[in-house]
Amino acid sequence: MNWLRVKKDSKAIFQVGNGNFLEMYDFSIFGLYAPIIAKVFFPNENAFIGIMQTFMVFAAGSFMRPVGALVLGAYMDKFGRKKGLMLTLSLMAIGTASICLCPSYAQIGVLAPIVIVIGRLIQGFSAGAELGGVVIYLSEIAPKDLKGFYVAWQSGS
C-alpha cells in the first residue's frame, strides 16, 4: 500500500468524512428531538398531531434529495467536486443555522414552522449531492490501489 500517499491525502479524507458526519448527525438529531421540536414549533392540543407535523417536515427534506442530486450533481460536474462539496456543506450549514436560530412559535407565530420547513428543504437539497459527490471525490483523489480504502471513509464517517 502507498501509505505516504494516504498521509498526504489524510487532510482531505478527514475534511470530507467530517462534513459527512456532521450532515448525518444533524438528520439524526432532528428525528431524535421530534417531540421537543413539535412542542416548540408545532404546538397543538393533540401532541400526536404536533409530532406528525414534525415528521412531515423531516420527510420534506428527504423529498428534496433527488432535486439536490440533479442540480448540485450537474454543478459538481461543471465546476469540480471540491467546489461542489464546499457548496453542499455551506447549504447544509445555512439550513442547520436557520433551524437552530429560529425563534419559537410562541415568539413569531406561524413564521416559525415556515422557517423550519425552509431549513429542512435546504438541508435535504444539499444532502442529495453529498453522498455521490463525496464518493466520487474520494475515488478521484485516491491512488489506483487504494480506491476502496479511500471511498470507505464516506460510509465509515
Tell me what pLDDT residue 111 has.
96
Tell me what pLDDT residue 112 has.
95
Tell me what pLDDT residue 56 has.
94
Which CATH number is associated with domain 10-156? 1.20.1250.20
Tell me what pLDDT residue 38 has.
93
Tell me what pLDDT residue 114 has.
96
What are the cell numbers at 145?
A: 490501489
Give 43's DSSP letter.
Answer: -
Tell me what pLDDT residue 144 has.
83
The low-confidence residues of the chain, meaning pLDDT below 50, are none
Long-range contacts of 20-23 (CB under 8 A, 24+ apart): 20/130, 20/131, 20/134, 20/154, 20/157, 21/157, 22/92, 23/89, 23/92, 23/123, 23/126, 23/127, 23/130
Give 42's DSSP letter.
Answer: S
Tell me what pLDDT residue 2 has.
65
- pLDDT tens per residue, range 112-123: 999 999 999 999
